[in-house]
């Protein structure tokens, strides 16, 4: 039974949905607690992660790190989940 469940969760569609559900936790792990607290919106649609940040300073810093954020989210998720990160 355990092998059957492992196989089920390794299917690309299922793995992507699980990773999508864990996205808020993954975001917090990557950016840290303080930035996660400044995050007012974390919306995922059509492989694009939309992030709204309260602080203009943090927003500017994250804007320049969009590609690295995308790569780290995908690495931690184990699937190609995010194609782009939009910081607002």
What are the pLDDT digits (tens) for 9-38? 667 778 788 889 999 999 999 999 999 999
Picking from 77, 73, 47, the residue whose alpha carbon sits closest to that of residue 62 is 73
Report how far residue 39's alpha carbon sits from residue 73's, in angstroms, rounded to the nearest whole number. Answer: 16
Q: CA 6: distance to chain centroid?
A: 22
Report how far residue 88's alpha carbon sits from residue 60's, in angstroms, rounded to the nearest whole number. Answer: 9
CA atoms within 13 A on the CB side of 3: 0
What are the pLDDT digits (tens) for 41-79? 999 999 999 999 999 999 999 999 999 999 999 999 989
Task: Tell me the two tokens of residue 44.
Answer: 């995922």
Instruction: Please answer whether residues 55 and 42 qualify as being in contact, where contact means their C-beta atoms are separated by less than 8 angstroms.
Output: no
């Amino acid at each position: 039974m355990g092998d059957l469940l492992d196989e089920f969760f390794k299917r690309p569609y299922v793995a992507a949905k699980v990773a999508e559900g864990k996205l808020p936790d993954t975001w917090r792990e990557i950016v840290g607690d303080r930035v996660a607290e400044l995050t007012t919106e974390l919306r995922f649609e059509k492989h694009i992660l939309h992030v709204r940040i309260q602080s203009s300073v943090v927003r500017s810093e994250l804007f320049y790190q969009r590609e690295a954020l995308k790569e780290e989210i995908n690495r931690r998720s184990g699937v190609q989940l995010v194609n782009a990160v939009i910081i607002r």
